[in-house]
Amino acid sequence: MDWSERRTRFRALLAGARCVHPGSVYDAISARIAEDLGFEVGIFSGSIGSMAVLGAPDLVVLTLTEFAAQANRVCRAGNLCLLVDADHGYGNALNVRRTVEELETAGVCAMSIEDTVLPRPYGPSGKPTLIAVEEGIGKMKAALDARQDKKLVIAGRTSALAISGLDDAMKRAKAYEAAGVDAIFLAGGITTEAIQAISSEIKIPLITGGGAGTLADLDWMAAHKVRVALQGHAPFSAAVLAVYNTLKALRDGTKPEALPNIAPADLLRRVTRADDYGRWTRDYLGGASA
């Protein structure tokens, strides 16, 4: 498939003056719903990937090939611009190269590579730590060098605000910008003061994790170079609860026809693109549509 048009749209968003909330997606149906509802960008995170594919918590037990395969299913389902959280690139800078190759082929528009030490190393503290900034720079350079489509966006992601403070976050943002990344992704510990400080010192746009109050004000965020502001991953949690409640009701004896909150037939037809498949059936198989 040709992913160029959607990557052009994502780059135009980064180059513009607006900030948008992305839709958190994790499979083909959720991606189509987000697109149908008008979301310009989808976000597929490593944590949601781990839960959706493996039923496991966010402990980096999901492999690159599993993540890339699911990202491809999301991308091929429609035309949503997809931003993915590629964690630490699944290893060192050489692994980062492989990560970019796989995710570019999968069709994503943008990916973030972070500087957290992952997976969790042996030791008693359990507290997150960061790789050296020099290693982070190496990872960013490897990512940029690995991409073949220059429209693909590489974002340098750092959790320094939550782990080591504003000064270190500023140092890392400047270093990754100098390495050539297209955006800086600030994850965790985000405050208005931090966004003001960092946005005033770098020229490239920002992507941020979720926030409330001013951090949820798209106009304020846009004025401070934020172009994509996440809102968490509530859709997946909502889907888990819906499936749990439905299965529990059936197990407890509720009749299928009495179940609440069941998707109507017209919605199922729309998100499965049943009309398209019906047309293809008539055109290619010479028979009546479903």
Structural domain boundaries in the chain: 4-234, 239-285
Average pLDDT over residues 259-264: 96
| pLDDT (0 to 100) of residue 239 | 98
82-117: string of b/e by CB count within 10 Å (b at 16+)? bbbbbbbbbeebeebbbbbebbbebbbbbbbbbbbe
Is residue 235 over pLDDT 90? yes
Is residue 126 over pLDDT 90? no
Q: Which CATH superfamily is domain 4-234 in?
A: Phosphoenolpyruvate-binding domains (3.20.20.60)
Is residue 289 over pLDDT 60? no
202-214: pLDDT as tens digits? 999 999 998 899 9
| pLDDT (0 to 100) of residue 26 | 98
| pLDDT (0 to 100) of residue 288 | 67
| pLDDT (0 to 100) of residue 199 | 98
Average pLDDT over residues 116-124: 91
User: Tokens representing 227?
Assistant: 């172009």
Three-state SS for 86?
coil
| pLDDT (0 to 100) of residue 65 | 98
147-166: pLDDT as tens digits? 999 999 999 999 999 999 99
162-201: pLDDT as tens digits? 999 999 999 999 999 999 999 999 999 999 999 999 999 9
Q: Do 72 and 107 touch, CB atoms closer than 8 A? A: yes
Global confidence as pTM: 0.96
Task: Give the whole-number percent of the chain exceeding pLDDT 90.
Answer: 94
Question: Within 10 Å of residue 209's Cβ, how many Cβ atoms?
Answer: 19
Average pLDDT over residues 117-143: 94
Three-state SS for 91-124 is CCHHHHHHHHHHHHHHCCCEEEEECECCCCCCCC
| pLDDT (0 to 100) of residue 270 | 97
Is residue 45 over pLDDT 60? yes
Comparing CA positions, the residue from 86, 90, 82 lying closest to residue 108 is 82
User: Tokens representing 223?
Assistant: 């004025």
Return the DSSP state at 84: E
- What mean pLDDT value characterizes the chain? 96
Three-state SS for 171?
helix
The residue ranges of DSSP E strands in the chain, in sequence order, are: 23-24, 41-44, 81-85, 110-114, 153-158, 183-186, 206-208, 226-229
Is residue 290 over pLDDT 80? no
Average pLDDT over residues 16-27: 98
